[in-house]
Amino acid sequence: MRSTADTVAEYLAELTPERREGIQRLREELKRHLDPLLEEVMQYGMITYVVPHRVYPPGYHCRPTDPLPFLSLASQKNNLALYVMAISMDRQLSAWLDKAWKATGRRLDRGECCIRFRSPDEIPFEVLAELLKKMDVRDYLRLYEISRKTSAKARGTTKTAGTKPKSPTRAAGHHHQAKTKTPGNSPAGNPQETEPAAPARRTNHRETEGGTATRRGKQPATGAKSRGTSKSAASPRRRGSRPSDRD
């Protein structure tokens, strides 16, 4: 569980006697070898040694109002933990730590920047002291700036690589498709583009046998005129044919 203590004294008071003794012993060893520019504070629920803003004004990039963390010490559920930020940024320093620690015959349980142990007795303090000598604040700030620039560059490269340019063929096809007009889907409902086909004209019974009825080469009248002149314009009724409603 993350501590909500505001001061180191409050944090130590929360611990069991056994854990408090282990943290106090490691804390004394750290203070003996840490760069004097660092300050001890409570940060993110841990005892943390930070680079103050007076030394590094930009602060921690995740939260610039906080000073840059250098090293943290915490009592966790199953172990004690020491977070050494520099070993996650410097591969050579990380490789040196692995080799020097294992050369002592002590078990090393670590992550990217975290070293875990159950008791301070598991820590080769001579190796820890040498590690802290290799990490003064100026070197650490240089590593931090390089790491930030490398991360920013990697993010930019990944973003660019993930964007596929549109091929000329596909681009041309897209342009052609955009120009194609579909009936019923034209902008502003242009009737010239959406007008449906004219319905088929109803076939008159007089136009069935022998084609369209004509008299002396004249076309039959349509509309209102056809109703007034249908008797005179139509050909004589044949036997067996169906009479019209007018007849």
Q: Domain with 151 in it: what CATH number?
A: 3.90.1150.200
Establish if 247 belongs to a structural domain. Answer: no
Establish if 185 belongs to a structural domain. Answer: no
Tell me which residue range forms the domain holding 130.
Answer: 8-160
Note whether 66 and 60 are within 8 A (CB): yes
Reading the block at residue 90, the tokens are: 């410097």
Per-residue pLDDT of the chain (247 residues; tens, 9 = 90+): 688 899 999 999 999 999 999 999 999 999 999 999 999 999 999 999 999 999 999 999 999 999 999 999 999 988 999 999 999 999 999 999 999 999 999 999 999 999 999 888 899 999 999 999 888 899 999 999 998 888 777 776 555 555 554 444 444 444 444 444 444 444 444 444 444 555 555 555 454 444 444 444 455 555 444 455 445 444 455 554 455 444 4
- Do the bridges between strand 39-43 and strand 46-51 make them parallel or antiparallel, or are there none, so unpaired? antiparallel
pTM for this predicted structure: 0.62
Establish if 53 belongs to a structural domain. Answer: yes
**Adjacent-strand bridge partners of 43:** 46
The set of residues, in sequence order, having a beta carbon less than 8 Å from that of 61 and lying 6+ positions away, is 148
Closest alpha carbon to 113 in 142, 151, 84, 152:
84
Establish if 236 belongs to a structural domain. Answer: no
Note whether 75 and 110 are within 8 A (CB): no
Establish if 86 belongs to a structural domain. Answer: yes
Lateral strand order in the sheet of 109-110:
39-43, 46-51, 68-75, 80-84, 114-117, 109-110
What is the pLDDT at residue 153?
74
Establish if 208 belongs to a structural domain. Answer: no
Three-state SS letters, 36-61: CCCEEEEECCEEEEEECCCCCCCCEC
Establish if 237 belongs to a structural domain. Answer: no
**Adjacent-strand bridge partners of 40:** 49
Establish if 234 belongs to a structural domain. Answer: no
Q: Count structural domains, the chain.
A: 1
Q: What count of other Cβ atoms lies within 10 Å of the Cβ of residue 18?
A: 10
Tell me the DSSP string of 14-37. HS-HHHHHHHHHHHHHHHHHS-TT
